[in-house]
Amino acid sequence: MEYSNNILVSIVMPTYNRAGTLGMAIESVLKQSFQSWELIIVDNESTDNTEEVVKKYSEKDKRIKYCYVKKSSNKGISEYLNYGISIAEGRYIARLDDDDEWYDQNKLSKQVDFLEQNSDYILVGGGAVMVDGNRKEIFKFYKRDKDDIIRRHALLANPFWHNTVMFRKKEALELGGYRNFRFVEDWDLWLRFGEVGKLYNFKEYFSLYMNAGQNLSVGNQKLAAKTILKLIKLYRYKYPNYWKAFIINFLQYMFAFLPLFIKKRVQNFLFFVKRNYL
């Protein structure tokens, strides 16, 4: 499908002190075959040369926009994501983190075509490739694809990988955007999307995800697991399999209390199991 040069997709990327990886993430956007986009980079008071890196790109491509936003007293990134959405010009919102990159150069094109042709769908995502700090592949994973299957598993594990999603801006604003969850702000929004529209995951790998110990929820596993238990309780009457989800995520909470050397040995395996089978 052909599109004009008007902005159709707004890519929101919060960042903080990731000047070393930011260029790689931006380059993966520039390589997309679909070109009707803007990239909104929301800088949360970085103290490194983040601004310099972004402006090097934005001077060459006006679709890349740098926004300096003061730190919030709230934990997490919800406020910065909502700021990006609030100033977005596109009909659709895509997400990319400052230390990841898109794997499929046709990612945006495929998702825009799908949403343009299926007005009853509100959110789409895809699979991802996990890599280590040297960009060496650890494993690949998909998410549940069809709407009915996603709903049956929506409380068991996060049904979408954040760096692969695209969703409708209008509905996101109407729902109030991301709420102030420190760890699962995305999962909460997906579950609210599911109350007003249909959901879909492509059986394709859209994103590279770097697992090099930088993920906030890995460093704060106990709090993250407790937050997940609160989240699934919040939606217990809106999606099926609550008790199964509670047991699985309670076991994850107990896992957080194990000695670090044990967790390091099995964490990637458990990550693989959860991403591929839940």
| pLDDT tens readout for residues 130-142 | 988 788 898 899 9
Which string of b and e fits 194-218 if b means at least 16 CB within 10 Å?
beebbbbbbeebbbbbbbeeeeeee
Please state the pTM of the whole predicted model: 0.92
- Domains annotated for the chain, with CATH where assigned, are 9-214 (3.90.550.10)
Name the percent of the chain in helix, strand, coil, to the closest 5: 40, 20, 35
| pLDDT tens readout for residues 21-59 | 999 999 999 999 999 999 999 999 999 999 999 999 999
Q: State the pLDDT confidence band at 75, using cuts at 50, 70 and 90.
A: confident
Pairwise CA distance, residues 13 & 37, whole Å: 13
